[in-house]
Amino acid sequence: MIRRPHPHEIKLLPQIENEADLRYRRVGLGLVVDMPPASLASLEAGRREGRLWVAVSPLNRPVGFALMKLPGGTAWLDQLSVLQRWQGYGFGRALIEQTATAARSLGHRTLHLSTYRDVPWNAPYYERRGFEEVPRGDWPHIFRMQSMEENRHGHPPWRRTIMRRLLD
């Protein structure tokens, strides 16, 4: 089930992100584990503005979340995290669909994200969900700024890409 988070659940989401990120060590990207998770302030703003959703277990406990931001007037899936033991049950797909629905309801025709192109649960996963890579030459200024910010945080730029999904 996907729903909006309760205020007291916000503090759980960075823990979910950190635990979900542990799998990056297996593909030589331990630096992702060392990066700070989404800030509580960013998550709380997302909650207040209706751009944050949680996937919950049968016991109604958060096991994943998606955060959408709107940089430069674009719909951007900023963070998608699901606890490892809950991956493979469709929570990520459901969170993406909720984000796409919300973006569409705000009048956006495209949902964007940035990800690793060669990590199986990144670009290949998103491709199976209708996303396609945006050629670097087509990146607007806001995407170039996003890429520079990711570079400052230590993401290797040659492994990163920006993807888009057209919303019907």
Residue 7 in tokens: 């205020």
CATH of region 2-166: 3.40.630.30
Q: Fill in the DSSP letter of residue 36.
A: -
Q: What's the average model confidence in pLDDT over 50-79? A: 96
**Mean per-residue pLDDT over the chain, rounded:** 93
Residue 32: pLDDT band with limits 50, 70, 90 = confident
* Inter-residue contact 10 to 40 (CB < 8 Å): yes
108-132 per-position pLDDT tens digit: 999 999 999 999 999 999 999 999 9
**Which stretch of 18-27, 29-38, 73-82, 110-119 has the lowest confidence by average pLDDT?**
29-38
66-103 per-position pLDDT tens digit: 999 998 899 999 999 999 999 999 999 999 999 999 99
> Could you state, in order of their start, the residue ranges of all structural domains in the chain?
2-166
The answer, yes or no, to whether residue 25 has pLDDT greater than 80, is yes
pTM of the predicted protein model: 0.93
Q: What's the average model confidence in pLDDT over 157-161? A: 83
Residue 149: pLDDT band with limits 50, 70, 90 = confident
